Structure 1
Amino acid sequence: MATFTYNKTLIGLIIIGLLAAFTIDWQRHTVEQANSTVELVMDYEDIVEMAQIEGVEPAGLLRQFKDAGVTSLAVYEATLEKLNKSGKITALPGSEILHQYRTGTLTDPFWRSLVADGKINAEEIYVIGQDKQVFREVMSDLDRRLGPGRVTLLAEGDRPVLSAKANYEKAVKWNLGLPTDELATVEKLGFYVIARPTNYTKVTADDVNSVFNRMAGIEHLTTVIFVGDEVLGYPDLLPLTARNFRERNLTLAMIEHPLQLQFLKQEGLLQLAAANNYQAARVYAIPKDEQPKLKMAEAIQRWVVTDQERNIRINLLRRYDKPEPGKTLIETNLAYISGVKEALVAAGFNIGRADTYKPYFAAPWLLALVVLGAVAAGVLLLSLIYPFATRWQYGLVVLLAALLLFPIVKGGGTLSRQMAALASAIIFPVLAVTWQIDRWRRLEALGKLDGHTGAGKIIVTGLGALFVTTMLSLAGGLYVGAVLSDVRFFLEMEIYRGVKLTFIAPLVLVTIVYLTRYNLFDDAQPLNARGLWRQVAAILDRPVYIKTLVLFGVAAFAAWVFVGRSGHTAGVPVPAIELKLRSFLEQVMYARPREKEFMIGHPAFLLAVMACYRQWPRLVQYMLVVVATIGQGSLVETFAHMRTPVLMSVVRALDGLALGAVFGVAAIIGVLIVRAVAARMGRSPAANE
C-alpha cells in the first residue's frame, strides 16, 4: 500500500494561519455587529399619489406612514410633466398656443399679443409659473441642460413666462433638479430626506454645486441615491461631488443588482464610494414585476432575510397597488410597513438612519499569515497527490509565499488575496476528504473493515467522521472569510472570484486523490501515486455499455444542475417546492443551510462510511465520496459571500451539519430497510412451486 506523509511543519503553518484567520474574523464580526440599523424608505411621490387615489390629505397620510415605521422619504427631481399635474406650473408647446389662436379659443390678451408680435414659435415650449420658487428652479435647470441662448424670460411679475427651444414630448420628461419645496415638506414632517438626483451632460462644477445648493438647509438630508447610468460629476468632477458628500456627512446608497451580485451599473459609483471614505450603504428594492406576486407575509420575510444575509441597510419599499381582501389600499400598505418594521426589530435590527461600515482593513501581517497558511495547505495537498521531497515542499512554499505576500506587505495585494481565497475554498474541503480517505485506508489495512460492522457503529462512527471532516472544511471557510476581510468586500465593491471553479475543482481533485489510493475496478491491487495515469488510461480503455452511457447521462444532468445553480446567473430554475422548503427553513433556523450540504453532501458522506465498512464495490465508494465532497465544498464557498456576516456563515455551516446528520442517518436506515426487504424477497419461494 502506498504511503502518504502529512508534513507536520506544513500543518503547523496551516494552524498558525488559522489562528490569524480567526483573529481577523473576530475583528470582522465586531465591525458587522456595529452595523445593525436599517432605514425604511418609501418614495414621497408614491404616498402622495396614494393620498390622491384614496381622497385623503397627503400630510396626514404621510404622518400615518411615519408612525407605521417609515423613517425616510426619497425625493426625485422635478419634471415638467409632474409639475403640470401638480398645478405648480403650466407647460405648453407653442403649437398648442397657435392652434388656440387660430381657432379663436385663445382669449387671454397677453398671449394674443405675443402671437400677434410673432413671439410664439410652434417648436418651442412655454412655461407659466403659478409658484415663483418652482418657476425659478425650473428656469435655472432648463438653462443648465439646454445651454446659453435657448431659454428666454418673456414676462415677469405674478405670472412669469419663459420660452425654451426644445422638443416638448421629450422635454416634459427631463429631470429638472431637486424640488426644494418637497425636500422641505419631507423634513418638516419629521422624516429623514433621501435625495435622488441625476447627472448632467457635459457636467460642470457649477452644475454639481447647484445640486448640493438645492439641498442646503435640509438638516435631515442623510443619503443620496443617484438616478440614471452615472453618478453626479462623472467623469471628471467626482472629487467635487465627494467633497460635498463629506462636508454634509452624506451616505452614498448603492442599489443591489437584481441578480444579487454587486450593483446596478452606474459609472463612477465605486470611485465615489471610496472617495467618500466608504460611507456607503447597500440598497434593495423588491422588483416591480415580482412584488405583486408575493403575499404580504412573504414580502416581509424577504426583507428580514435580505437584511440579515446580504448586508442591506436601506430598504426601498414599494407600495402595494392592490388592496388585500377586507382592507383599503391605505390599510394594506400601512400593515405592510408596520409588519416589516416589527419583523426586523424581532430579528435584532434597529430602525433609523442606515448604519455604514467603518473603513475596516485587516492588518497586513495577519493577512500575510493567512496567505502563508493557504500556500502551505496547497503544497500539503500536492504532496498527498504526488509525494516529493520535503526540501522541495519547503522551497515551493517559500516561492509561492514570496509571490503572493509581496503586494500584501506593501499595503495592496487585492489580487493576491483573491487568489488565496480561491485556493483556500478549493483546497481545504479536498484536504478534509483526503484525510478521511486515508483514515479508511488505515482501517482497511488493519482489517477493521470486514463487511460485518453493525448499523449502530456505522452511524456513530459516521457522525463522528462527518463532524471532524466538516470542522476541517470549516477552517477553510474561516480562511476565506478572513483573507478577503475589508470594507470593500463587505460592500461588494470587490468580490470573490471563481465561484464555478470553486464547485468543480474539489470534485476533480478528490477524484485524483482517490485514484492515487484505489483501483476502481480491481480491489486487490491499489495503485500508488505514480500509477495514476496508468489507471486513467485503463479506465478509458474499458468497454462502454448502455448502462454506462445512462449513468454518464445522469451524471451529466446532475453536473448541469449543480453548476447551473451556482453563482449569480439566471440559470437552472428553482422548483416551487424547494422555494417553500427554503422559506420554511428561513423561518425556523437562524441561518438557512444549503441543500447541497444537508440534502446531498452530508447524507452521501454517511453512506460513504457505510460503503467502506460494508465493503461495497469500490466504484460505489468513489461516487459517494465525490458527492460527499460537494457538501464540504459548498460549506467553504458560503464564506465567499463577503456581504454575509461571518457569524451567519459559521452558523449556516453548523445548521447544515446538524440537518445533514439527520438526513444522513435516515439515508442509512433507508438503505438497510431496502436491503433487508430485498434479501427477504430473494429467499421467498415462488408462488407456483
Structure 2
Amino acid sequence: MKKKYILLFILIFSLLIVSITAMKRIHIESNNKTVDVILDYKEFEKMAKQSDEDLEWWFRKFKTLGVSGVGLNEESFESMIEENKPIKVEMIGSIIKDMNWKKEYPKAIVELFEKEKIDSYDVLARTKSKELYEFIKNGLESRYDKSKFKIMEEKDEYLFILDGTAEDALYTQIEKVFDVKNKGFKEVSKLYSSKLIRLGLGLDEKKVNLIKKSGLKVVPRPYNYSSWSSKKLVEGTINDYKKFHIIPPYMIFGGGEVLGYPKNVKALEDYMKKNNIKVGMIESGVQREHIKQKGLYDLTRNLDYDSVRVFSVLKFIQKRFQYYNYKGAEEIENSLNRAVTERNIRVIYFKPFKYDDYIYVTDYKEYEKMFDRFRTRLSSHGMKIGPASVMDANKVRNRYKIMIGWGVVAAGILLLENIVRLKEKISYILLGIGIVGVTGIFLVKPHIGEILLALSAAIIFPSLSMAYFCSRCSIYYKEGIQQKSILKDFIVVIKDLVICSLISLIGSFMVGSILSDIEYLLEMSIFRGVKFSQLIPIVIFIILYMGYFGYKRNKGIYEAKTLKWEDIKNLLFDDVKIIYVIVGAVLLVVGYIYIARTGHETSIQPSNLEMIFRNMLEEKFYARPRTKEFLFAFPALMLGFFVAKKRIKWLTFIFGLCAVIGQTSIVNTFCHLRTPMLLSIVRTGYSLIFGILIGSIYALLLYSSVKLLKVMRGAAHHE
C-alpha cells in the first residue's frame, strides 16, 4: 500500500504540472480568434469571364463579405503564355531538331548556337511587343545576374535567352514504342520545357491597380528558384512592392522555396521584421503539415513564429458545390469551418465554387449565403473574420516535461503490476531507473525525450483504463447475478465508464501538454506515434484479460490477477478450430480498416451517409463528437460490464476489444495538436454523454433479449 501511495503521489504531482501547462496552452489558443480571407486572382479572373460582371465588380462585392485582399502571382513566361500574350517560348533542344531551323530563326540565335554559347537546355523567348519587351527586360535586369540571360533585338523582334541546365529541363512522361508484333522496341521521352519559364518577372501594374481600385489589399506571391536566386532577386522583389506602395500582410510564397533561398533569406527576414509581415504556411492537400517549401520553417523560427497557417481551397473542394445533396455550398463551408476551428488555420486562400472542372458558379447570392453562414458558425466559437491573429510562441520548459515524465513512469509501473507480480523492491528500482532515465534524456536529447514521453503516455493510460475494466469485470464475474435493480446496475456501469475515460483523459492531457510547443500547434512538427499508440493498447488489453480471466485456466478466474505461464501454454498448445480462424480474420480486417481510416492519407474514407451524419453533428454542436466513440466503443465498454455480471466471458472479451478503441481514441483526439485543447475536451465530453445514452439503450436491449431468451427456454417460472 505504501508503494502505491508513493506512485499515486508522484502521479498527482505530475498532474498539477500538466494542469499548469495545459491552462497556458488553452489561454494562448483562446486569444487566436481572427481569420482572414484572401482571394485567388487567377481563379476569380477565370470566373469573372464566365459571368455577366467584370473582375472589379466581383472584388468589390467580396470586400463587403469581409475579404481583405487578393493573392497575386508574379508574371512569368508561363503566365504570359497562359494569358495568350504575344510571346513564344521554346527550348533550344526542340528548335534544333528541325532541319531548316537555321533558316527560320534569327541569325543571332544561329550564331550563338554555332559558337556553342547556347545549348539544348537554354530557353528562347520571342516577342514583337515593345511593352512586353520593356516589362521582361526590367524584370530580368532588376532581379537576376546578367550572366544568366541574354537580351537581343533583331529587326522588329525582341529575343530573350535564359541559360538553362539539365536540372532545369522538363520532359514528357516516358512512352513505350512497339513494333508490329506488339513487342516493346524502346522507351522515349521528349524535351518539353524548362523550370525557368516560372521565373518571377514582377507584378503586373494593371492587375495591381485593379485590386487596389476595388478596395482590397494586394498579397503578392513571390517565386524563387534556388539556382537563379541572389540578394539582387530579394531586393528587386521588395523594390517592386515599394514601387506599387504595397506592404503585404502575409508572405505566401509560390513554388517550392522561400524568396532568397538558400543564401539570401536574411534580406527578406529584415524586410518582414521591419514591416510586421507574417509568414504564410500553406497546409498540404492531405491536411497534414504544409506543402514543402525550402527555407520556410527556418524563416518562421527566425521571425519568432510570427506565422499563420493558410488553407488553400483545392480543386476538389471547389467542386463540392451541391455536394452530399446540399442545395448550395454547404459542404465547402464545412471544409472551411473545420480548417479554422479544428486545424488552427487563420488565412483562407479562397477560390470560387465550381460545378465541374470547367464551369464556375457565378451566382453571387450563393457566395453571400455561404459567407453569412460561415460567420455565424465562427461566432459560436468566439471567432470572427478580420486580420489574421497569431499565436504566442509557446515553449514548454524542460523541467515541466521532466516532472510530467515522472508521472508517466509511475503510471507505467502501476500498469506493469497489473500484468506481472512485482516485489516492492523491484518496483522501487524501476521507479528510480525511470525517474533518472526521464531526467537524463531531457538533459541530453530533449526532442527525443518529449516524443518518447508522449508516446508512452498515449499507450500507458488507455491500457491502465482497460486494466480497470478487467479488474471490475472480474469482480462482477465473481459476484455473478445479484439482481438488485436495473437502475442501480446502470449507475454502477456509467460510473465505471466515466472512470475508465478519466484515466485515458489523464494521458490525453499529458500528451497535449508535453507537445504544446508552438511548433506542434503550428504543425511544423507532428506526433508520429498515433497509429502505434492505437495498436499497442489492444495487445496489452489481451494480456490483461488473460491475467484476470485466464485461458482455459483450471482454477477460478479470480484467484489470480496477473498473467500466468499456464495461460500462455494453454493458448499456444490449444487446438485451432475453424471458428478461431474465421473470427481472427474478421478481427484483422476490422483492425486494418480501423487503423487505415486514421488520418487523411488513406484510400479508405467514410461513406457519404457517414459524412452527412458528421456534418449534421458539426452544425449542431460546438465540437463534433467522434462517432466511433459514442456509437461503438463507449457503449461496448458498458455492455462489457453487463455481460460480465451475466458471466458470459467470451462476450466480455469481445466488448473489451471494442472498448479499447474508444479509450485510445480519447488520447488520439488530443494527439491532433493543431486542434485547440478546449475543443478536444468538449468533443470528448460530448462523446461520453452520447455514449452513455446510446450505451444505455443497447444495455436495455440486451437485458430484454436475455429475459426473452429465458422465457423462451421456460426459465421464467423459476424466477
Same fold (TM over 0.5): yes
Matching residue of 1:672: 703
Matching residue of 1:28: 25
The percent of aligned pairs where both chains have the same amino acid is 23
CA deviation profile, 1:263-305 (whole Å, cap 9, x unmatched): 1222222222212211111112233034313430111122112
Specify whether residues 291 and 382 from structure 1 end up closer, same or farther in structure 2 by C-alpha distance, changes over 3 A only.
Answer: same
Matching residue of 2:115: none
1:351 deviation in Å?
1.1
Specify whether residues 433 and 82 from structure 1 end up closer, same or farther in structure 2 by C-alpha distance, changes over 3 A only.
Answer: closer
**In the alignment, does 2:276 pair up with 1:249?**
yes
CA deviation profile, 1:59-108 (whole Å, cap 9, x unmatched): 23311111122222101011245447769x7424699xxxxxxxxxxxxx
Matching residue of 1:608: 640
**In the alignment, does 2:657 pair up with 1:626?**
yes
CA deviation profile, 1:428-459 (whole Å, cap 9, x unmatched): 111122134334445666xx433545433221
Matching residue of 2:333: 300
**In the alignment, does 2:443 pair up with 1:419?**
no
d(CA) in 2 for partners of 1:452, 1:332: 60
| Structure 1 residues without counterparts, runs of 5 or longer | 96-114, 685-689
1:255 deviation in Å?
1.5
d(CA) in 2 for partners of 1:83, 1:647: 48
d(CA) in 2 for partners of 1:225, 1:511: 50
Specify whether residues 93 and 222 from structure 1 end up closer, same or farther in structure 2 by C-alpha distance, changes over 3 A only.
Answer: closer
CA deviation profile, 1:174-217 (whole Å, cap 9, x unmatched): 34333062345434543233221111242222122222222236
1:327 deviation in Å?
8.1
Matching residue of 1:125: 125
d(CA) in 1 for partners of 2:532, 2:148: 59
Aligned partner of 2:596 among 564, 567, 582: 564
Q: CA RMSD in A?
A: 3.4
**In the alignment, does 2:399 pair up with 1:403?**
no
Matching residue of 2:261: 234
1:307 deviation in Å?
0.8
1:397 deviation in Å?
2.5
Letter aligned with residue 72 of structure 1: G
1:139–1:151: 8 Å Cα contact kept in structure 2? no
**In the alignment, does 2:673 pair up with 1:642?**
yes
Specify whether residues 680 and 523 from structure 1 end up closer, same or farther in structure 2 by C-alpha distance, changes over 3 A only.
Answer: farther
Matching residue of 1:521: 552
- How many residues align? The count is 656
CA deviation profile, 1:596-647 (whole Å, cap 9, x unmatched): 211221111111111122222x232222223212211111121111100000
Matching residue of 1:66: 63
d(CA) in 2 for partners of 1:16, 1:522: 40
Aligned partner of 2:203 among 169, 175, 179: 179
**For structure 1, which segment, 415-424 or 341-350, has the greater mean C-alpha deviation from structure 2 after superposition?**
341-350
SS in 2 for 1:481: helix
Matching residue of 2:691: 660
**In the alignment, does 2:160 pair up with 1:164?**
yes
d(CA) in 1 for partners of 2:392, 2:156: 49
1:368–1:409: 8 Å Cα contact kept in structure 2? no
Specify whether residues 177 and 342 from structure 1 end up closer, same or farther in structure 2 by C-alpha distance, changes over 3 A only.
Answer: farther
CA deviation profile, 1:490-532 (whole Å, cap 9, x unmatched): 0111111211111111111122122222224347433646753
Matching residue of 2:186: none
Letter aligned with residue 48 of structure 1: E
**For structure 1, which segment, 298-307 or 520-529, has the greater mean C-alpha deviation from structure 2 after superposition?**
520-529
Where do 1:41-440 residues align within 5 Å? 41-80=38-77, 82-83=79-80, 90-92=86-88, 124-129=124-129, 131=131, 135-136=134-135, 138-141=137-140, 147-148=146-147, 150-152=149-151, 154=153, 162-166=158-162, 173-179=197-203, 181=205, 182-183=207-208, 185-202=210-227, 203-216=229-242, 218-295=245-322, 296-322=329-355, 328-408=362-442, 413-440=446-473
d(CA) in 2 for partners of 1:54, 1:358: 43
CA deviation profile, 1:223-268 (whole Å, cap 9, x unmatched): 1222222222333333443333222322111111222211122222
1:462–1:606: 8 Å Cα contact kept in structure 2? yes
Letter aligned with residue 134 of structure 2: F
Specify whether residues 329 and 175 from structure 1 end up closer, same or farther in structure 2 by C-alpha distance, changes over 3 A only.
Answer: farther
d(CA) in 1 for partners of 2:439, 2:480: 45
1:365–1:409: 8 Å Cα contact kept in structure 2? no
d(CA) in 2 for partners of 1:474, 1:653: 9
CA deviation profile, 1:92-141 (whole Å, cap 9, x unmatched): 4699xxxxxxxxxxxxxxxxxxx999568799433355658x83455432
d(CA) in 2 for partners of 1:17, 1:565: 33
Where do 1:573-612 residues align within 5 Å? 573-612=605-644
Matching residue of 1:466: 497
Specify whether residues 61 and 620 from structure 1 end up closer, same or farther in structure 2 by C-alpha distance, changes over 3 A only.
Answer: closer
Matching residue of 2:100: none
d(CA) in 2 for partners of 1:674, 1:130: 87
d(CA) in 2 for partners of 1:93, 1:263: 32
Specify whether residues 345 and 135 from structure 1 end up closer, same or farther in structure 2 by C-alpha distance, changes over 3 A only.
Answer: farther
Letter aligned with residue 396 of structure 1: L
Letter aligned with residue 372 of structure 1: W
Matching residue of 1:18: 15
**In the alignment, does 2:530 pair up with 1:499?**
yes
Letter aligned with residue 670 of structure 1: L
Specify whether residues 379 and 209 from structure 1 end up closer, same or farther in structure 2 by C-alpha distance, changes over 3 A only.
Answer: farther
Specify whether residues 128 and 280 from structure 1 end up closer, same or farther in structure 2 by C-alpha distance, changes over 3 A only.
Answer: farther
2:308–2:388: 8 Å Cα contact kept in structure 1? yes
Q: TM-score, normalised by structure 2?
A: 0.83
1:311 deviation in Å?
0.8
Specify whether residues 519 and 86 from structure 1 end up closer, same or farther in structure 2 by C-alpha distance, changes over 3 A only.
Answer: closer
SS in 2 for 1:399: helix
d(CA) in 2 for partners of 1:509, 1:75: 54
Letter aligned with residue 385 of structure 1: I
Specify whether residues 407 and 129 from structure 1 end up closer, same or farther in structure 2 by C-alpha distance, changes over 3 A only.
Answer: farther
d(CA) in 2 for partners of 1:94, 1:601: 61
1:52 deviation in Å?
3.1
Q: TM-score, normalised by structure 1?
A: 0.87
Specify whether residues 49 and 576 from structure 1 end up closer, same or farther in structure 2 by C-alpha distance, changes over 3 A only.
Answer: closer
Specify whether residues 339 and 531 from structure 1 end up closer, same or farther in structure 2 by C-alpha distance, changes over 3 A only.
Answer: closer
d(CA) in 2 for partners of 1:329, 1:625: 53
1:342 deviation in Å?
4.4
SS in 2 for 1:7: helix
Specify whether residues 545 and 69 from structure 1 end up closer, same or farther in structure 2 by C-alpha distance, changes over 3 A only.
Answer: same
1:70–1:337: 8 Å Cα contact kept in structure 2? no
| Structure 2 residues without counterparts, runs of 5 or longer | 92-103, 112-122, 165-191, 323-328
Specify whether residues 327 and 440 from structure 1 end up closer, same or farther in structure 2 by C-alpha distance, changes over 3 A only.
Answer: closer
**In the alignment, does 2:515 pair up with 1:484?**
yes
SS in 2 for 1:517: helix
Specify whether residues 449 and 178 from structure 1 end up closer, same or farther in structure 2 by C-alpha distance, changes over 3 A only.
Answer: farther
CA deviation profile, 1:474-496 (whole Å, cap 9, x unmatched): 11111111011110000111111
Matching residue of 1:99: none
1:345–1:351: 8 Å Cα contact kept in structure 2? no
**In the alignment, does 2:569 pair up with 1:542?**
no
d(CA) in 2 for partners of 1:82, 1:204: 22
SS in 1 for 2:147: coil
1:601–1:631: 8 Å Cα contact kept in structure 2? yes
